[in-house]
Structure formats: C-alpha cells, structure tokens
Amino acid sequence: MDDKVLTKGFDLKGLFEIEAYLQNGGYKAVEKALLGMTPSAVLEEVKKASLRGRGGAGFPAGVKWSFVPQNVDTPKYLCVNADEGEPGTFKDRYIMSHNPHLLLEGAIIASYAVGIHLALIYIRGEYEAVARRLENAITQAGERGYLGKNILGTGFDLEIIVHRGAGAYICGEETALLESIEGKRAYPRLKPPFPASVGLFQSPTVINNVETLSNVPFIILNGGEWFVEKGLPKDGGTRIFGVSGMVKKPGIYELPLGTNLRKIIFEYAGGMREGKELKAVIPGGMSAPVLKGDEIDLAMDFDSLARANSMLGSAAIIVIDKETPIFEVLKTVTRFYAHESCGQCTPCRIGTSWIDKIVQRIGQGKGEEDDLDTIIRLASNILGKTLCPLGDAAALPILSLCRKFRGELEGYLPR
C-alpha cells in the first residue's frame, strides 16, 4: 500500500527504539526544520498542508498554531492530547506504541514553530505500557541531542513530560485536559478565551491530537503540497480509520481521506463476520450519529459526513450486525454518557442520567408508551446548552438511534 504515511514503518522490528528509528530516516524532519527553516516557514508549510485535527473537531492545525501570540513574556505550552477515550478509537495507541519517536518529532517541530519550551503528553492512565514506551523514547531522544537544552546546537530548548490521566473521558476535551493537568477536576472551561491565548496556567497553549502531530514530520520532509495530494484540498493527508465490531478483520487502516465507508468495511476490514449481516455503522466514534446499513456509500471526510448528518470525529468505525438489538446499542450509549458527564452543566448532568434511567427501565420491561418521545425531548434539551461538546456528543447519537430505529425501539414499549 503506497498510500500509507503514518503507519508505513509499523511492521519494522523495534521501530520504537531510537536506533531503528534513525536507521529509517528518523529525526531528519527535526534536523530539516530546526537547522534549515525559520519557525514561520515551518508554520507556513503546515498551513499549506491543510492538516486538520485528528482528535475529532477537525480544526486546521496550522491555523491553531498561528493563533498563539508571538511576543509574550509568559511561557507557552504544547499539550499533546493522547487521552483517546472516544469509544471505538484506538489509533493513537498504535502510533505511540509502534512509533513513539514520530510523535516526539512532531511535538519538537510544533514547539519550534510556536516557540514552546515545555510540552506535556496527556495520556490516558490505562495506557501505562505505552506511557513507559514514550518515556523511554524521550530519554533516548535526549541522549542523542534531539530534546533538552540547545537541541542540535541551535539554542532551542524543549522538555517533554508524559502526564498520566486517571480515567475520565471528559479529559479528551481540550480545556478539561488543561484543568486536569493543573491538578483539578476536569471541568471544561468557557470559551473564549481559547487556549491559544489563555491556556495552561493562563499561558498561551497549543493542544493537538497524537495523530495530528505525527503527520507534521512528513509535511516538513515532503512539503505541504505533497500532503494535500495525499488527501483532499481542504483536508490534507491520510487518516487512520479504526474499525471494530462485527467485521472479519478489526484493526487500523490508514487510507486517504475521502475513502468510501462501504469499501473500508467490506474490502479493507474483510466484510461482516461469518453469518452476520450489516445493520448500522457508527462512523466516527460513539459521539457520531449512527448510519443505517443502506447509508454507508459515503466518502469518509469531514464535509461528506457532515452532509450525511453524522461526523468523521476520530474516524473510529463501529460496525453493528442485524442480530444485535438497537436497544442494546442505545443502552450502551446512554450508560456511557451518563457515566462520563463531568457534572458541571445541568442539562448534560441531569439529562444524560435521566435518559439512562428511562432506558434502564425499558430494559427491565417497564417501558411506557411515551418513553421514546421523552428521550428525544430530553436529548434535544441537552443540544447546544452545555459548555463543552460532551452534551452534543451524548445527545446526537441518542437522537439518531431513536429516530432512525424508532420502529424497532417501539417494540419495547406498550402499545
């Protein structure tokens, strides 16, 4: 597969060790950027690449970096979002465990472009083995002069800390992540001000997802135009799709943005498991509204999925088979959001747990005639009424399940 960029070297043995990484062209991008380019030239190249955030929101990375004020007295920070909590998503775990130096390279180049001297990788606590691998990579990079003081003799300093989370989905929301690093409950902040101007410890902060940053070394080596050609004009590069659920070959598939969803499921992921038929697909992590089995002839990019009233999100594809009752999906979704709502905003705190209680009651055979309408009303009242996107992330999939599979779900209610 020539289209691979990020995962190309994943089958190389021991790539996570710096010797193997260097033998395969590692740290060449850092050398090119720090020794041959000005920070603003790096920024321009990343802007030209139309690199959009891989965490879910899809905000252009270069634009995000350019929002950081240049001449300030306070320190600036980079936070790498490695919280990866969106159900169905496991791509960042692959990047960090197979190729931790690639992420470090991306973080070094981003920090150089923005003028940052401390980067924190916020990694979910469950990824302890991955965190250790990152720490090992950081030590190795420091020994070779790619991290620490006076990197490659350029006078540029950068330290990277691996910061372990402790089990809270909300920490993947960027301002919640900042609060968490500051040693607090991860309650999202009101925006604006945006983290680029007021972020960690009230200082300008860049927050990027693991996969986003891992693309940066390739952009520096091959140019922004090359990167755009790998994807779409407004959406450069490849995307790592994580496929799970009832397919023959669950796993990660790095493909050009815009690859057809049906093709991903039926060709790359091997199609449905023996004897299973397709019922529905969640195309972008649990927060993404569900697609029915006949709605999957879609290009997997931000705009096409938005037009289909769903979202690309973290590009995590969960494939649901006909034998699985949609009620089971609804039950899992509502329980998850009721558990993970941080509790700060009333519509989300009360709404998610109220819906969850109704769904549990239906599960006990005590459904009432108007339950579905009540769920739809409650979910609609969460939409757009919370500080952070978690409220919408809960409401949208619940609404889509209730509307698209209303007939099936009504079977659980008295007539």
Partner 1 sequence: MSPEYSGELRKKIEEVVARYPKKEAALLPVLHLVQNEVGFISPEEEKFVARVLGIKPMRVREVVSFYTMISPQPLGRYHVQACQNLSCHLAGSENLIDYLKSKLGIGVGETTPDKKFTLSTVECLGACEQAPCMMVNFDYYGQLDKDRIDQILDRLA
Nearest-Å Rg of the Cα atoms of the chain is 22
With CB under 8 A as the contact rule, which of the stretches 45-53, 142-150, 317-325, 374-382 interacts with partner 1? 317-325
Sheet holding 238-245, edge to edge: 251-256, 238-245, 316-321, 278-282, 291-292
CB of 251 to partner 1, least distance (A): 5
Distance CA 44, CA 404 (A): 44
Residue 201 binds partner 1 (CB under 8 A) = yes
Residue 327 binds to partner 1 (criterion: CB under 8 A): no
Is the preceding omega at residue 193 within 30 degrees of 0, hence cis?
A: yes
Q: Which of 15, 116, 151, 181 binds partner 1 (CB under 8 A)?
A: 181
Q: Is 161 in the site for partner 1 (CB under 8 A)?
A: yes
| Nearest residue to 339 via CA among 113, 38, 85 | 85
Q: Residue type at 22?
A: L
- Whether a cis peptide bond, with omega within 30° of 0, leads into 192 is yes
As given in the structure block, the two tokens for residue 31 are 């050398």
Q: Nearest-5° angle of CA 309, CA 377, CA 188?
A: 70
Does residue 322 bind partner 1 (CB under 8 A)? no
88 is an interface residue for partner 1 by CB under 8 A: yes
| Terminal Cα distance for the chain, rounded | 54
CB 242 within 8 A of CB 317: yes
Q: Which is nearer to partner 1, 86 or 301 (CB)?
A: 86
Looking only at residues 350 through 409 of this chain, which bind partner 1 when binding is defined by CB under 8 A?
A: none
CB-wise, 210 or 305, nearer to partner 1? 210
Minimum Å distance from CB 339 to partner 1?
6
Q: Is 100 in the site for partner 1 (CB under 8 A)?
A: no
Applying CB under 8 A, what is the total number of residues that bind partner 1? 58
Please report how close the Cβ of residue 31 comes to partner 1 at its closest, in angstroms: 27
Q: Rule CB under 8 A: say whether 336 interacts with partner 1.
A: yes
Q: What character string, x for contact with partner 1 (CB under 8 A) and - otherwise, covers 121-140?
A: ---xxxxxx-----------
Q: What is the DSSP string of 45-60?
A: HHHHTT-B-SSSS--B
Residues 240 and 133: their CA atoms lie apart, in Å, by: 21
The least distance separating partner 1 from the CB of residue 271, rounded to whole angstroms, comes to 16
SS3 at position 247: strand
Among 31, 44, 321, 408, the residue binding partner 1 under the rule CB under 8 A is 321
Question: Which two tokens mark 216?
Answer: 């940066």
The answer to whether 76 and 254 have CB atoms below 8 angstroms apart is no
**Least Å from the CB of residue 366 to partner 1:** 20
> Interface with partner 1 includes 243 (CB under 8 A)?
yes
Q: Check residue 172 for interaction with partner 1 (CB under 8 A).
A: no
Binding site for partner 1 (CB under 8 A): 75, 84-90, 92-93, 118, 124-129, 159, 161, 163-169, 180-186, 201, 242-246, 250-252, 282, 286, 316, 318, 320-321, 324, 328-329, 332-333, 335-336, 339-340, 342
